[in-house]
Structure 1
Amino acid sequence: MKTLGEIEAAVCQGVSQFEQEFMGRGPKDIRAHLIGDLLVIRMQGVLTAAEQHLVKTLPEEKGRDLLKQVRSQLIEVARPKLDALVEGITGIKPISLHHDISTLTGEEIVIFTLTEAPRYRDSKKK
Structure 2
Amino acid sequence: MINKKGWIESEISKALTKWEKEYLGRGSISVKTDILRDMIIVSLHGILTPAEYTLCDSKEGRLSIKQVRTSLVESGVDDLMEMISEITGVNVKSFHTDISTQTGERIMVFKLEENVEKKLNR
TM-score normalised by length of structure 1? 0.86
2:67 aligns with 69
| Structure 2 gap segments, 5+ residues each | none
Shift of 1:2: 7.0
Deviation per CA, 1:39-72: give whole Å up to 9, x if none. Answer: 100010011344234334xxx1101101111111
Counterpart AA for 2:98: D
Instruction: Say what the alpha-carbon RMSD is for the aligned residues.
Output: 1.8
| Structure 1 gap segments, 5+ residues each | none
1:114 aligns with 112
Q: What is the aligned residue count?
A: 119
User: In the aligned structure 2, how far is the partner of 1:109 from the partner of 1:12?
Assistant: 12
Contact 1:92 1:114 in 2 (8 A): yes
User: In the aligned structure 1, how far is the partner of 2:109 from the partner of 2:7?
Assistant: 18
2:103 aligns with 105
1:20 aligns with 21
TM-score normalised by length of structure 2? 0.89
Counterpart AA for 2:12: V
User: In the aligned structure 1, how far is the partner of 2:35 from the partner of 2:105?
Assistant: 19
For residues 2-17 of structure 1, the aligned pairs below 5 Å read: 3-17=4-18
User: In the aligned structure 2, how far is the partner of 1:39 from the partner of 1:97?
Assistant: 10
1:48 aligns with 49
Shift of 1:78: 0.4
User: In the aligned structure 1, how far is the partner of 2:114 from the partner of 2:35?
Assistant: 11
Matched, 1:81 2:79: yes
Stretches (4+) displaced over 4 A: none
Of stretches 61-70 and 113-122 in structure 1, the one that deviates more from structure 2 is 113-122
Percentage identity across aligned positions?
A: 34
User: In the aligned structure 2, how far is the partner of 1:107 from the partner of 1:82?
Assistant: 18
